[in-house]
Amino acid sequence: MKRVFYFSGFTLTVFQWHKNHFINSYVFNPSKDGLDDFARYLKASRNGPARILVDVIEEDFRQENIPHVNLNDRKVVIKRLIERHYRKSVDYVYHKVRGRERSGRRDDKLFYGVLTNPEILEPWLKVIAETGTEVAGIWSLPLISESVVDLLDKRQGNVLLVSQQVPSNLRQSFFKDGTFEISRSAVVNLDEANIGEYIAEEVEQTSRFLSNQRHIGFDDKLTIHVVCNEDDIEIIKRHCVDTPLREYVYHDLDELHEKVGCSDIKEPYCSGLYSYIARKLSFWKKHYGPSYVFRFYYQRLIRNALKMGSALIVLFSLFIALVLYAESKISMNEAAVIDKQSKQLEYKYVQELERYESELIRAQVMKSSVLLAEKINLDKAISPQNFLISMSRLLSDVDMQHIRVTSVEWKRTQLGEAVFEGKKQRKSPKRAAASKNTYQHYAIIVGDVVTDNSFKKAVTEVSNFIKLLKSNELIQKAEILKIPFDVRPESSFENEHSANDSTKAGSNRNSFEIRVLLKADDHV
Amino acid sequence: MFKETVMSVQREIVMMLIAILFSTVLIGASYVYWQSQNEDKVLAEVKYLQIKNKYSTAHERKQLIEKFGEKFNELIHKGVIGNEKRFSWVDVVESSVRNHQISYVKYKIDKQEVLMDKSLSSKYPGIDILVSKMNLNMQLLHEGDLFALMSELEYRAQGLFDIGECTIKRNKISSSAALEASGTDRNFKADCLLNWYTFRPKGA
């Protein structure tokens, strides 16, 4: 159930709503009995949050320019402004910045509304506080009347909304292009004159006031929207005559009730309509009131938040627990499946392989031994026997009959060794066995040229031998280490002649020495 | 006002604390249960992987044995695996000298050594490679005697060897000796280095 406390400045009417339906209303006078009744009502009724709607004469609306400053400074400026004009009403101020000036300092346009005499609310607030009634907020009726203008769908131009919430008051609120600017409330006494006369007179006064205050120009058109009972429309029309600058539009209150969806309300004045609008206002958009008035409501919000939080925590923990339980079950099932697979595999192992276990340990030894033996056997293809056979074939050539080989030194080595640079390194067996297809073999061939004492012929024979070696496809490289007559500038040479023997250059004067590198890959 | 507010929501605060406590206990207990189940699963997975590895390793080894077993037995038979058969080598050398009437043979077998080489160990894991060097110094009638000796060692001796280096030199012979009808049986001198290899399981 929602409750709206409509305060007219004298009486306080409680409107009770359930969802969108009007339940009932109670009117309380500000007398001691009235306040006691109000307290009794509050104690007896369910403590649902109440919204207070104030519709009092003692309410000012102004628009002033203030310097454009940051938010904190603006608060200070507004506080000083209010304290200067309305010292007692510091807690009953609503303000809103409505844009900035287009020229000059480009000041902020500050609109504010103030309850100039908040003491009239205090007896009621005291009862509310004593009964622990929750108050969601205090709203100004003129400020929420923008909703009624929206309802009338008249947002353009100068609109003056005339309505009567209680029999003794007539409220006129002025809107420029749908934005509230000012409102005034006048006391009426229907015993002295009918409502039509009052409206005509009050509208005229308000029009002049608006012109004087420059809310409208002197030649601006003003549309007056009168919300009233169907019965009063004819009475009002008799007194309110349209002119070129004044146009009256009448709205039947019952039609508006139907339009907003609260046709079950049977109030003769507009307070019911406003309370209907106010029943759903959000507490953080309230207009007036010191914070202590709302403390019970805040406590309710905190209580609800804590309850909600507790429920969410429990729900969250239940959710997590369920997820973990589900995960546990999945893990358990998976573990069972894996365990079953393990047992099957183990059984398979026992059946197929366990009896070979002692032999299986030797598998790697077998593999390494066989592969290494094969490698050694493969490398054995490079042997001095094969090399010497190749050499014999070369020497059997008819042109090589004068060459006599006296010594062959064969060595197997690995590629990359500087054999031909004179850095002979003896390769260790382990390195040789470790490498794969990297062997080469070379030989140093020492021999004589069987010829007469002609150096030239001996050299020619050796050169031919070298050429033959080089032309052989199995020989990669051949290099002369020593020739019978070395005519190269870097070599030294000596010779001797005598009468008996024409030349004495030593016993090995026709000897030569050749280093040959063979292609290992062919396994010559 | 703050105190009043706190007092007014005291019950809800207690409720929330109970809710937090309940949730903590519930989540904690669930987590412990989940963790224990998860550990069981992980243990089962580890056990499965161990068995799987054991099976696949054994299977691979069985395949290796099927592939290399026969050749390995041949190596055992040939004396390449286990202790080296020096007696066999010497026996073959001696018999070759007799058979081919090699006039002079001198041989020397060095102490057996283990080849310590990381690349060898990684390439041929599981075995120790041992090598014995044999130096052969010979006086030969012709170079064919050398090759005959090598061939006999290859086919008759128990073991595996390769030739590291070999030198054959023609001996200097005086003209008178050369002209003799009988000639000489020491026309060539040969010096060769043989590496005899033996394998054994690592650490055996």
With beta carbons less than 8 A apart as the criterion, state whether A186 and A199 touch. Answer: no
Per-residue confidence at A1, pLDDT binned at 50, 70, 90?
confident
Q: Taking the model in full, what pTM does it have?
A: 0.60
Summarised one tens digit per residue, pLDDT across range A45-92 is 887 889 999 999 999 999 999 999 998 998 899 888 888 888 888 889
Mean pLDDT of A433-438: 48
SS3 assignment, position A225: strand
Of A295, A380, A407, the CB nearest to B170: A407
Q: Collect all residues of chain A within an 8 Å Cβ-Cβ radius of residue B175.
A: none
Q: Considering only alpha carbons, which residue of chain A is nearest residue B42?
A: A335
The minimum CA-CA distance between B82 and chain A, rounded to whole Å, is: 11
Collapse the DSSP code of A222 into the 3-class scheme (helix H, G, I; strand E, B; otherwise coil) and give the result: strand
**How many Å apart are CA A128 and CA A50, to the nearest integer?**
10
Token duo for residue A111: 């609109």
Cβ pair A277, A20 in contact under 8 A: no
pLDDT digits (tens, 9 = 90+) for A349-392: 999 888 888 878 888 899 999 999 998 888 776 667 777 777 77
What sign does the dihedral A482-A486-A488-A490 (CA atoms) show?
Answer: positive
Query: Which of A106, A203, A194 has its CA nearest to residue A162?
Result: A203
Select the residue from A367, A406, A439, A440 to test the B interface by mutation, using most B Cβ atoms within 10 A.
Answer: A367
- A226-243 confidence digits (pLDDT tens): 999 888 899 899 898 899
pLDDT level of residue A280 (50, 70, 90 thresholds): confident
Q: Is A108 helix (H, G, I), strand (E, B) or coil?
A: strand
Query: What is the helix, strand, coil percentage profile of chain B, to 5?
Result: 55, 25, 20
Tell me the chain A residues in contact with residue B197 when contact means C-beta distances shorter than 8 Å: 372-373, 376, 429, 433
Q: By the CB < 8 Å criterion, does A500 face chain B?
A: no
Query: Please, which residues 367-406 of chain A have a Cβ atom closer than 8 Å to chain B?
Result: 367-374, 376-377, 379-380, 383-385, 388, 405-406
Range list of β-strands (E), chain B:
104-109, 113-114, 127-140, 160-170, 188-201
The mean per-residue pLDDT over the stretch B148-155 comes to: 88
Rounded average pLDDT over A264-290:
88
Q: Are B92 and B166 in contact (CB under 8 A)?
A: no
pLDDT at B180 over 80: no
Chain A from 289 to 318: CB within 8 A of any B CB? 291-292, 295, 298-299, 302-303, 306-307, 309-311, 313-314, 316-318
Contacts with A310 (C-beta within 8 Å, 6 or more apart), sequence order: B12, B15, B16, B18, B19
Question: Any chain B CB within 8 A of the CB of A100?
Answer: no
Mind listing the pLDDT tens digit for each residue in A178-197? 899 999 999 888 777 888 88
**Whole-number Å distance between alpha carbons of A141 and A164:** 12
**In whole angstroms, what separates CA A436 from the centre of its chain?**
59
User: Exposed, middle or buried by CB within 10 Å (0-12, 13-18, 19+), for A203?
Assistant: buried
Share above pLDDT 90 across residues of chain A, in percent, rounded to a whole number? 40
pLDDT confidence bin for A31, thresholds 50/70/90 = very high
Size of interface A-B (CB pairs under 8 A): 253
B26, A317 Cβ separation under 8 angstroms: yes
Closest residue in chain A to residue B53, using alpha carbons only: A345
- pLDDT in the model for residue A414: 59
CA–CA min distance B138, chain A (Å): 14
Interacting residues of B187 by C-beta distance below 8 A, sequence separation 6+: B140, B141, B142, B170, B171, B173
User: Do residue A369 and residue B199 have CB atoms under 8 angstroms apart?
Assistant: yes
Cα nearest neighbour of B32 on chain A: A324
Residue length, chain B?
Answer: 204
DSSP state of A245: T
The model's pLDDT over A202-229, given as tens digits with 9 standing for 90+, comes to 999 999 999 998 889 888 899 999 999 8
Amino acid at site A126: K
pLDDT surpassing 80 at residue A199: yes
pLDDT of residue A433: 47
Residues of B in contact with A334 (CB under 8 A): 41, 44
**Cβ A517 vs Cβ A475: under 8 Å:** yes
